[in-house]
Structure 1
Amino acid sequence: MPSEQDPATSAGPVTVRYWAAARAAAGTDQDVVDGGTVAATVAAVTALHPALAPIAAVSTLLLDGRAVTRDAVVASGSVLEVLPPFAGG
């Protein structure tokens, strides 16, 4: 039986970009990690930057420019953006 990778557990390189408080918590503008699902990608970057975890938990997540849920599949080469809630207007 051929072995296939489960897209929920691994996908390939995904760029994660941080905005506002997420950028401050991560200490960088972006990271490149292996994807899979949005949840797996967020888990990978919060493992790199533990201070990001509470911000990521309440952030809007955009995958290639579209709002997504955490169970969305992330393809290799995609861009996931972490947008924390903004105050003011």
Structure 2
Amino acid sequence: MPTVRYFAGAAEAAGCESEARSERRLDDLRVAVVGDHARLGTVLPRCAVLLNGRRVDADAELIEGDVVDILPPFAGG
């Protein structure tokens, strides 16, 4: 199962810092996490979504051991 890690405001909206998911495509995962964590609906559109540390297309396939990071915009410098 892929693991989703939420950071900063995304973790607050999800109510957890990480979770295992069963979705097999990134776009399905995005829809499912908003379905499970409604508050992510306002945060996720502004977030960078990385698969194993890289930006990928929304239709990327997910496999066992993948890590999806949900990173909201960070302030500072």
> So what's the TM-score if we normalise by structure 2?
0.89
Equivalent position SS for 2:41: helix
- TM-superposed CA distance for 1:77, in Å, is 2.1
Alignment of 1:32-43 (within 5 A): 32-43=20-31
The answer to whether 1:45 aligns with 2:33 is yes
Q: What is aligned with 1:8? A: none
In the alignment of these two chains, the number of paired residues is 77
- Runs of 5+ consecutive residues of structure 2 not aligned to the other structure: none
Distance across 1 between alignment mates of 2:25 and 2:72: 19
Instruction: Give me the CA root mean square deviation.
Output: 1.2
Percent of counterpart pairs with the same letter? 38
Q: What is aligned with 1:23? A: 11
Distance across 2 between alignment mates of 1:88 and 1:34: 34
Amino acid at match of 1:54: T
Distance across 1 between alignment mates of 2:29 and 2:45: 13
Equivalent position SS for 2:43: helix
Q: Which has the larger radius of gyration?
A: 1
> So what's the TM-score if we normalise by structure 1?
0.78
Q: What is aligned with 1:4? A: none
Which structure is higher in RCO with an 8 Å CA cutoff and minimum separation 6? 2
Amino acid at match of 1:18: Y
- Runs of 5+ consecutive residues of structure 1 not aligned to the other structure: 1-12
Distance across 1 between alignment mates of 2:56 and 2:48: 8
| Higher share in strand | 1
Q: What is aligned with 1:75? A: 63
Cα deviation per residue 1:35-74 (whole Å; 9 max; x = unaligned)? 2211111112111101012211111111111112312111
